[in-house]
Amino acid sequence: MAKKSYNYFEQFEKQMTMCEKAAEQLVAMLADYTDIHNKAEEIHDTEHKADEHLHELMQELNRSFVTPIDREDIVQLANALDDITDAIEDVANLFDVMSIERVKPEAKEMSQLILESSIALSALVSEFHLFKSSKNLNDLIIKVNEVETKGDELHRSVTKEMFKNEKDAIELMKWKQIFDTMEETLDIFEDVADMIDGLVIKNS
């Protein structure tokens, strides 16, 4: 009986499942802002499972002779998907290590955008295996880019407000790093969506 070929596209979807879970955990952490260290550790556990999916894919790639798209493109996309979960973990860790006592409403709003991006990118990744025939890929890419634009606008607004009104330099430093990291996380979502767009063009 022939060995079933490895499905790289399914493995990308598994990576996005972990990304989406981490985003959900971040939203929940900021909505119920208690026991932050343990909640950050739970996000770390999710990130660790995402690493396991990445390692499985890389091990299979080392054994494979035939792949559905170029090997270097598989590596680039798999690493980029892993970067998102890493970035969400980084956000959660900042709230813990900086001993943030109260959450700004804009941080909750930004976490919702991170979750919205993860849902949109999950849909895009799930559709990616149909890149030769799908009519939905372009709309899904646009959706990720639209959420990132909302994040940019919120980031500029809250940064301006903080520099205008925050008198405590340490609090300003803490929150600037948090919002910068959240905005950078949204940038990674957009980068991955654009990467998939390029792969569709390359392989169609």
**Residue 67 included in any domain:** yes
pLDDT-flagged residues of the chain (< 50): 1-2
Q: Is residue 1 part of a domain?
A: no
97 CB neighbour count, 10 Å cutoff: 12
Burial 115-130 (b: 16+ CB within 10 A, else e): bbbbbbbbbbbbbbbe
Is 42 part of any domain?
Answer: yes
Mention every residue, 6+ apart, whose C-beta is less than 8 A from residue 122. Answer: 13, 16, 17, 19, 20
Residue with tokens 């990132």: 148
CATH code of the domain containing 163? 1.20.58.220
Is there a domain that residue 4 lies in?
A: no
Contact 64, 3 (CB under 8 A): no
Question: Residue 2's pLDDT is what?
Answer: 41
Q: What is the pLDDT of residue 148?
A: 95
pLDDT at position 3? 52
Question: Is residue 154 assigned to a domain?
Answer: yes
Q: Tell me: the pLDDT tens digits for 157-194?
A: 999 999 999 999 999 999 999 999 999 999 999 999 99
**Rounded CA gap, 18 and 16, in Å?**
5
Range of the domain at 184: 9-203
Total number of domains in the chain: 1
* pLDDT at res. 5: 78
